[in-house]
A and B are shown apart, each in its own frame.
Chain A
Amino acid sequence: MMNAAFLKMINVIVEEFSHSYLVPSFLTLFMKSSVAGDWVTQHAKDPRVKLVAAKMKKENYRPDALIEILHTAQNAFGHLPLPILHFIGKGLKLPGSRVYSTVTFYHFFSLKSKGEHTCLVCTGTACYVKGAQAILNELEDKLGLKIGEVTKDNKLGVQAARCIGACGLAPAVVLDDEVHGKVLPADVLAMIHEKTNAHEQAGTE
C-alpha cells in the first residue's frame, strides 16, 4: 500500500521530469487508483448495486459463485457496466482479468446495453432452414441494425440466439421475452414498430 505522502512525492518527480526524454516513467507504476471504490461510493444507494451486494453476501463471497452473481448483476442492470465488474471482482477477491475473461466468454453476458427493447432472432438449424436469415436481412435493410447492434436512441437492440428450442414454430423471434413463432420478416417489423415506434433507418450506435 502506498501512503499519500509517497504518492505526492512521485507526482512531483513526474511533473519535474515531464519534458525530459528521460522521464522515469516507471514511477507511473506507483500511481494507480481504484476505479471500483469511487463509483460504488457514489452509487451506494442504487437499489441495483444493493442487489448485487446482497447476492455476493448470500453466496458468502465464494469465488465459484461468480457466474451466479454476474447473472444477478445483468438482470438488475440489463448489461454489465465496467464499474460493477470491478465491484464484483473486489467483493469475491478475484483478479480483474479473471472476471473480465469470464464475462466475455459467455455470450449471455453483455458489456454494452442491449437496448430498451430487444428483438432476438433465433438462428438455430430449424429456423435457419425456414428463413431466419431473411428476417435478419430485413432488420438490416429496414432498420440498419445488424446482430448485436442497438439504435442510437437505445430503443431497440437486435440479437441472435443459437437455438431457443422452439423449433416446432420455426422461424421464431423473441421480442422482450415473448416468443413469436412462424413469423415472416414483415411481421417482425410490424411487431417491432408497435413496441418501439422506432423510425426506419434510425441509425446505429
Chain B
Amino acid sequence: MNRQELNNFIEKEKEKLAEKGSKAQIRVCCGAGCLSSGAEELMNSLKEEIKAGNIDAEIIPTGCMGPCNQGPLVKFDPGNTIYQKLETGDVAPLLNSHLLEKTPVTEKLLFADSRENPSLNADEDPYFKKQLRIALKDCGHLDPEKIEDYLLLNGYQALDKALFAMAPEDVISEIKQSRLRGRGGAGYPTGLKWESVYRYVNDQKYVICNGDEGDPGAFMDRSLLEGNPHRILEGMALAAYAIGASKGFAYIRGEYPLAIKRFETAIKQARKLGLLGKNILGSEFHFDVEVRIGAGAFVCGEETALIASIEGKKGNPRPRPPYPAEAGLWGKPTLINNVETYAAIAPIINNGGEWYSEIGTAKSAGTKVFALAGKINNAGLIEVPMGTTLREVVYDIGGGIQGGGKFKAAQTGGPSGGCIPEEHLDVKMDYESLVNLGSIMGSGGLIVMDESSDMVDVARYFMEFCMDESCGKCVPCRVGTKMMHDLLQKICQDNATRIDLERLEELAEYVKETSLCGLGSSAPNPLLSTLRHFREEYENRVRETSPKHNVVD
C-alpha cells in the first residue's frame, strides 16, 4: 500500500466509525493483571448479556488501564467511567443500570472501596489526575490486536511525516531537541545514540528493541507491548529510518507470551498494510522486524549480552568499546533502545521535540512510566512527568501504604538500584536525584516497603538474584556476588561479626569497580544503599568479635 492507499483506508475506517455514532463502547482491560483476575470470563459474559438483552453496545478488549490491583476493570465510553473488581454476576445489573437506566453503580466505581466520593469520570480521580500519559496514552483505550484502532488515533502519522517531510538528520535533531533519555535505566541521551549509529557508514545496520524486562517488580515494557504494540513498532521504524537500518529485532522475554503474541500480530498487520517491508508507503525506505524470544537470563538486558543472544549464543557480555553503535549485531552498527524509549518516539515526531523537552525537569525531560507494587494500595502502572516527588507517587497516586502501615522505603531500579528511605520522600524522581541517593531510575519498577520489611534481608534477596543471574564470565561478579551473598546470609542468621561487615563493604566496592558489565558493577547497589540509609539494622546484628574464630586480617 502506498501513502494514498493508506489514507483512503483510514478514511474508510473513519466513515465506519462515524456510522456507529454514539453507540456505547465497553472496554474490558485485558492486561496481564486483569486477565489473571478473570477478565476473559467477564468479557464473555458481557458479550452474552449484550446479545441476550439486544443492547446497542460494542465490546473492545484493551491493554492495561493502570490500576491492576483493582482488576478486572471495565470502562464505559462515552463518559470514561471505570468499574472495578467485577465478577460475572455483576454484569447484568451493571449493564442494566449504567446503559439502560443511565444511573451509574456507585459501589462498583473505580476506588469505591477506598474513596468517599469515587469519580464518575475516571480522569478526575487523583490517581489519573496527577498523571501525564504519553507513552501509555492509548494503552487501555485501543484494541491492541487491531491496527485500525491505532490508525484512527493518528497511528503511523509520525512515520508518514518522517518519510515524506523529514530527512533522517531532521528526525535525529528532533529527538536530540526533545532531550529524551534512554528509559532502560542508564539514561543515555537517545538523540546522541542515534546520531552515533547514523555516523557509522555501513550497508547493513540494525535496530533492536530491548524488551527483556528482567528487573523483578517491573512490568512497564510488558504492558506497553501488550497494550499498544504498534506504537513500539512505529518507534522502531522511525529509528531505522533515522539511522539507515533495514532490519529490526524485538527481543521479548519468554515469560511474556501474550506480549510476544500481540507484537507478532502487530508485525503481520503492519506488513499487510505496507507499513513494514519493502518501499514503505511507496517511499525508498525498507524495513522489517522479527521477534526474538528471550530464554530466561537477566543478563540479556545488557546490550552486548542481548546481541549475543540474538546471534544464538549464550548471553555473555563482552567488554566495551567497541560499542554496539560501531560493532553490534553480527559486527554491524546497531541501535538498541528500550521499549519505553520507542514508545515516546512517535509523539515526539508528531508534536515536535520542543514540546517534549518542556515536560519534566531541566536534565530529565518528558515522562516516566513506573510500575507501583509492594505494600501500596493502588498497585499498578502509572506515568508521571519527571521530577514528580516520591511522596506524590506513593500517597497521591498510590493511595498510601496498605493496611495503614508506615512507609519505610521505596526500592527503585530493581537489583541494580537502591532503597529510598522516608526522610527522602520529597525527592524529585529524575535520573540525577535518584543517583545522588544511591539508587537509580532503572527501568521503572517501584516497590514500596512498610515497617515490616527487613532491609538486610532485602539486600540479601537482591544479592541472591544477582548471584543467580551472573553469567559467570568475570571473577568479581562470579565469585564476588556469591561471597557477598554468603556474608549477607550470615548477617541475616545473626552469625556475623564486625569483620564480616567490613569484608562485605570492601567486596561491594571491589565488585562495583571491577566487574565487566553493568550487572556486576551495579549488583552491590542495593547493599550499598541499605548500608547507607539503614546502617543501624546491620550494626545491630553483628557481634563485635567472633568468639570462635581467630580471624586473620
Contacts and interface: CB of A to CB of B under 8 A. Distances in A.
A126 B373 contact: yes
Given A65-B312, A125-B461, A178-B36, A163 B215 contact: yes
Contacts of B257: 177
A108 B312 contact: no
Contacts of B36: 166, 169, 172, 178-181
The residue among B214, B292, B309, B373 with the most chain A CB atoms within 10 A of its own CB is: B373
Given A105-B471, A107-B296, A181-B33, A167 B309 contact: no
Interface in A93-120: 101-102, 105-109
A37 B442 CA distance: 49
Interface stretch (A67-75, A149-157, A194-202): A67-75
B33 A168 contact: yes
B32 A106 contact: no
Contact of B219 (A63, A71, A161, A165): A165
A64 interface: yes
Contact of A170 (B312, B314, B373): B373
Interface string A22-63: 000000000000000000000000000000000000000011
B297 A167 contact: no
A66 to B, nearest CB: 4
A102 B315 CA distance: 9
A164 B255 contact: yes
A96 to B, nearest CB: 14
Contacts of A164: 32, 255
A126 B380 CA distance: 11
Contact of B312 (A63, A109, A125, A172): A63
B6 interface: no
The residue among B214, B297, B310 with the most chain A CB atoms within 10 A of its own CB is: B297
A170 B379 contact: yes
The residue among A67, A126, A177 with the most chain B CB atoms within 10 A of its own CB is: A126
Contacts of A177: 257
Contacts of B159: none
B69 A168 contact: yes
Contacts of A66: 312-313
A53 B381 CA distance: 42
A164 to B, nearest CB: 6
B379 A168 contact: yes
Interface residues of B, number: 54
Contact of B461 (A62, A68, A128, A165): A128
Given A129-B447, A161-B255, A168-B380, A124 B297 contact: no
B479 to A, nearest CB: 18
A167 B219 CA distance: 7
A106 B295 contact: yes
B206 interface: no
B401 to A, nearest CB: 12
The residue among A66, A67, A68, A163 with the most chain B CB atoms within 10 A of its own CB is: A163
Contacts of A106: 295-297, 314-315
A19 interface: no
A185 to B, nearest CB: 18
A163 B35 CA distance: 17
B481 to A, nearest CB: 15
Contact of A126 (B32, B222, B254, B374): B374
Nearest to A160: B468
B115 to A, nearest CB: 18
A108 B411 contact: no
Interface in B269-307: 292-298
Contacts of B309: 67
Contact of A129 (B213, B374, B414): B374
A160 B471 CA distance: 19
A67 B373 contact: no
Contacts of B71: 168-169
Interface string B57-73: 00000000001110100
A162 B375 contact: no
A167 B293 contact: no
Contacts of A65: 312
A130 interface: yes
Given A63-B312, A106-B295, A126-B374, A163 B214 contact: yes
A126 B213 CA distance: 15
A126 B372 CA distance: 9
Given A71-B293, A108-B296, A169 B68 contact: yes
Contact of B33 (A64, A163, A169): A169
B342 interface: no
B312 A67 contact: yes
B515 interface: no
B295 A67 contact: yes
B222 A165 contact: yes
B219 A179 contact: no
Contact of B32 (A105, A129, A166): A166
B70 to A, nearest CB: 9
Closest 10 CB pairs of A and B: A168-B68, A124-B216, A179-B36, A106-B295, A108-B296, A126-B373, A167-B373, A165-B219, A163-B216, A64-B312
30 contacts: A64-B310, A64-B312, A64-B313, A68-B293, A70-B295, A105-B297, A106-B314, A107-B295, A108-B254, A108-B294, A124-B217, A125-B373, A126-B216, A129-B453, A163-B214, A164-B32, A164-B255, A165-B219, A165-B255, A166-B68, A166-B219, A167-B68, A167-B445, A168-B68, A168-B219, A169-B33, A169-B68, A178-B36, A181-B33, A181-B37
Interface of A: 62-68, 70-71, 101-102, 105-109, 123-130, 161-170, 172, 177-181
